[in-house]
Amino acid sequence: MIYLHIPFCKQKCSYCNFHFSTSLNYKEEMVAAIKKEIGLRRDELENKNIKSLYFGGGTPSILKVDELQSIIDEVLKHFSFDPDIEITLEANPDDLDKNFLKELSKTSFNRLSIGTQSFFDEDLKLMNRAHNSGEAESSIKRAQDFGFENISIDLIYGSPSSNFEIWKQNLDKTIELQVPHVSSYALTIEPKTMLNAWISQGKIAAPKEAEQHEEFFYMIDFLKDNGFDHYEISNFGKPGFHSKHNSAYWKYQEYLGIGPSAHSYNGRNERSWNIANNQLYINSLNKSILPKETEILSEKDQFNEMLMIGLRTVWGVDLSSLKEKFSTELLEYFQNEIKTKLEDGLLKIENNHLTIPEKHWFLADGIASDLFVV
């Protein structure tokens, strides 16, 4: 699978610490550099038959449809597409106007991941999103009118501008709009964000963990009652609408990440990441030099990563593949470490897979890191 990072946004959301620029001055140069990188790295994927192509960011919908199409065409010069390929565009509601969707519906994009976040203006203002509540709703309806069925929306819960009642209404609206996939995250306060500064200055209250906890568990029951599978801590999909792209990440498959700050993984022991600076990225590719750094993962790194990723999913960690992959010494240490957690019900083993019971998923990162080999 291939991930393409489009590092531009209209404005900075107050909670965001991703890599992007709000200046579009170098948009054409960036598209050219991304296409060049695709060609230069064509031999890095073992499997040349691509099952997922994912345009993320940043805000990929900031590009024109013909620019997006030209990137797909470049990928097609070097790779083949699986007949069931999933081609996702992350899009912000304010970009999904009639013209854009009309053009997009003529391309091979078959999945939209819309950055809705909330259907309430108070939340959207606090998050400094570029769209309003009207656009949050109308963008989804318009996309459906143009034939996009496979739609995921992002929703954020636990914002200081929200409360349990508002959260319930956000979920009701999701069902009313017949959206088949939801990615939902608790609002977290990252360093160097506007939200962090506002909280430090006492301008707004910090999110309350107890409220986030309550909203998370309400969402699980509510979405499951409405036909969604809860297949990863933050992801819910109706049958047939699970994200192929994210599922491949969670199953440790190889992926190629193109664009500034994008990460790649060879499915074994090598990870690399591109420089997180638009101008340096473009300059480097103009000289045909790949602006990336590579790290060889030790046995411990690979083991810890498998736990961290696997324990966030409904599939858990496959114990037979751990046996095949890792040394007896490491496995003995691990068997010892999981004992108490199994007794306490924080972990369970079923069909030779180690999982965290759903009621403890809120604690998944902590449970996994307790088991890390150091």
Which listed range, 15-23, 65-73, 118-126, 209-217, lies at the site for ligand SF4 (CB under 6 A)? 15-23
| Contact between 26 and ligand SF4 per CB under 6 A | no
Which is nearest to 33 in space by CA: 271, 294, 287?
A: 287
| Contact between 20 and ligand SF4 per CB under 6 A | yes
The number of CA neighbours under 13 Å toward the Cβ of 28 is 0
- The residue within the footprint of ligand SF4, chosen from 34, 58, 264, 317 (CB under 6 A), is 58
Residue ranges in 163-182 that form contacts with ligand SF4 under rule CB under 6 A: none
- Which is closer to ligand SF4, CB of 124 or CB of 285? 124
8 Å CB contact between 119 and 144: no
- Which is closer to ligand SF4, CB of 22 or CB of 269? 22
- The residue within the footprint of ligand SF4, chosen from 2, 6, 9, 306 (CB under 6 A), is 9
End-to-end CA distance of the chain: 31
- Which is closer to ligand SF4, CB of 18 or CB of 26? 18
| Contact between 16 and ligand SF4 per CB under 6 A | yes
By three-state DSSP, how is residue 89 classified? strand
CB of 9 to ligand SF4, least distance (A): 3
- Which is closer to ligand SF4, CB of 59 or CB of 355? 59
Which listed range, 10-18, 34-42, 323-331, 363-371, lies at the site for ligand SF4 (CB under 6 A)? 10-18
- The residue within the footprint of ligand SF4, chosen from 18, 146, 185, 333 (CB under 6 A), is 18
**Where do the DSSP E strands lie in the chain?**
2-6, 49-57, 80-91, 111-117, 151-157, 181-186, 229-232, 235-237, 256-258, 263-265, 270-274, 292-296, 317-318, 348-350, 353-355
In one-letter notation, the amino acid at residue 228 is: F
Those residues whose C-beta lies under 8 Å from the C-beta of residue 101, and which sit 6 or more positions away, are 142, 143, 145, 146, 148
Residues at the interface with ligand SF4 (CB under 6 A) = 9, 12-13, 16, 18, 20, 57-59, 92, 115
